[in-house]
Structure 1
């Protein structure tokens, strides 16, 4: 059931499904909680799945003048768990949500049972920063803002695998992406999120992560490739700098593995969380 939960200076749309260890799912830029729509029912078969719209997205508070940052979104996640009376959770972040998940696990190790970092980066290289500069330019030039058809076409190409786009499921992908972008975003928070990703450097926080970690992504990820170049720190850097981290590469998967590789993504994540269950940690 969906409800609005207050964390003091913001109201966050939240939906809880299933029973078991709590799994906090942190969505990426642009999509709001829809990022996990295909996965949540599968994970809810074994876990208490917590989906929410981060500050600036969907049906949560969307202030234009808030100083958005990856670390502040991580603080919001901790405040949400406080409001729900949850001391500790598994954390599952995708894309920008994977960046927030890194920050959360590094800043709040005592609250992180385990963490999945999906299709993400710790620091964007020059090409990585250009991806989001392109998004900013489009939404500022197009009167439709984040609901831009041009943006939806670009993100569909950047995020979804070739196999998915050529399948029957991908037939209406651009229309669906455009609808989600239009309904989940307003201009100022969208631009602020892009700039937050361009400016972030989470490498020290990654080194502070002490919980079990899984680095998960597709080998066709165009948006946040495993190698961010010498100026950045991509998924491969994260895996190399998290001692004991597990790594799973989805063959044929794009940036949005929750959509284009749903079954494999869900299976790998459920297995990882089950092997690091709270009962086993006691």
Structure 2
């Protein structure tokens, strides 16, 4: 276990596994680096996978309360890259991690080789069709794993991978930190800035995602020049775990962009 120092002095826990070009994984709201589980293992066969715990989550310090915004959390991600000795990385963000990854690509374009955004959104949008289902949002705020599991994962996959499911939903975090993560994700709004993203971008989105409905991905594709959208049939919000075929799609996307 390693630690990076954030701008406010908070210690951010991070790990590195595998060899090859660096890939930074950015977890979702109130989720620890351990939640990447089998996906990190698969990616580490090709890349040097760097994971970290967000401030207030897992083994990282909580830091200053005012730094819980997606844009400032992107500065934490840069601190981790610096600590890992990485100037340029592929960046893969899931859900709120995707929101953070957007700011990373916008504010630090020279640090992002390619960008993968899974089950995420540009943020607030006046169109109701892009908003989470009310019942799904209630389930998210409840923290009840029995209510959340079907929104994230395929039932057969969840039954076959109980350890990965348990780890994903049971990150160590205080109510204080969870509330600030929820607010950071809810207040995210990068729509007017997405056009500045220069990195080749792959959008992965489940067709059955009720927490971040598919129209969000369609709008992001319009805003991020040259981005590629892959709709994952039948997938919910946790497609980064229960659809391991996406790992191969990511490899193919990066290989293709490396040749171009």
TM-score normalised to the size of structure 1?
0.82
Which residue, out of 124, 127, 132, partners 1:128?
A: 132
Q: What's 1:49 paired with?
A: 49
Q: What's 1:157 paired with?
A: 150
Which SS does the other structure have where 1:38 is aligned?
A: helix
Q: What's 1:144 paired with?
A: none
User: Structure 1 unaligned runs (5+)?
Assistant: 139-147, 228-233
Which SS does the other structure have where 2:51 is aligned?
A: strand
Instruction: Report the Cα offset of residue 194 of structure 1.
Output: 1.0
User: How far, CA to CA, are the matches of 1:260 and 1:219 in structure 2?
Assistant: 14
Q: What's 1:92 paired with?
A: 92
Instruction: Report the Cα offset of residue 72 of structure 1.
Output: 0.8
Q: What's 1:259 paired with?
A: 241
Instruction: Report the Cα offset of residue 276 of structure 1.
Output: 3.0
Q: CA distance change for structure 1 residues 182 and 18 in 2, over 3 Å: closer, same or farther?
A: closer
Instruction: Report the Cα offset of residue 133 of structure 1.
Output: 6.2
Which residue, out of 219, 222, 232, partners 1:237?
A: 219
User: How far, CA to CA, are the matches of 1:175 and 1:85 in structure 2?
Assistant: 32
User: How far, CA to CA, are the matches of 2:48 and 2:223 in structure 1?
Assistant: 30
User: How far, CA to CA, are the matches of 2:17 and 2:82 in structure 1?
Assistant: 18
User: How far, CA to CA, are the matches of 1:30 and 1:258 in structure 2?
Assistant: 16
User: How far, CA to CA, are the matches of 2:165 and 2:122 in structure 1?
Assistant: 25
> Contact between 1:33 and 1:53, CA under 8 Å: does it hold in 2?
yes
> Contact between 1:152 and 1:177, CA under 8 Å: does it hold in 2?
no
> Contact between 1:93 and 1:116, CA under 8 Å: does it hold in 2?
yes
Q: What's 1:141 paired with?
A: none
User: How far, CA to CA, are the matches of 1:179 and 1:52 in structure 2?
Assistant: 15
User: How far, CA to CA, are the matches of 1:175 and 1:47 in structure 2?
Assistant: 24
Deviations 1:132-184 (A, max 9, x none): 56644x3xxxxxxxxx5xx2122212212xxx21x2x4237788656644442
> Contact between 2:55 and 2:61, CA under 8 Å: does it hold in 1?
yes
Aligned-residue Cα RMSD (Å) equals 2.3
Which SS does the other structure have where 2:67 is aligned?
A: coil
TM-score normalised to the size of structure 2?
0.88
Alignment of 1:217 with 2:216, yes or no, is: no
User: How far, CA to CA, are the matches of 2:205 and 2:232 in structure 1?
Assistant: 6
Instruction: Report the Cα offset of residue 224 of structure 1.
Output: 0.7
Instruction: Report the Cα offset of residue 192 of structure 1.
Output: 1.0
Q: CA distance change for structure 1 residues 242 and 81 in 2, over 3 Å: closer, same or farther?
A: same
> Contact between 2:17 and 2:50, CA under 8 Å: does it hold in 1?
yes
User: Structure 2 unaligned runs (5+)?
Assistant: none
User: How far, CA to CA, are the matches of 2:100 and 2:243 in structure 1?
Assistant: 22
User: How far, CA to CA, are the matches of 2:67 and 2:138 in structure 1?
Assistant: 18
Q: What's 2:75 paired with?
A: 75
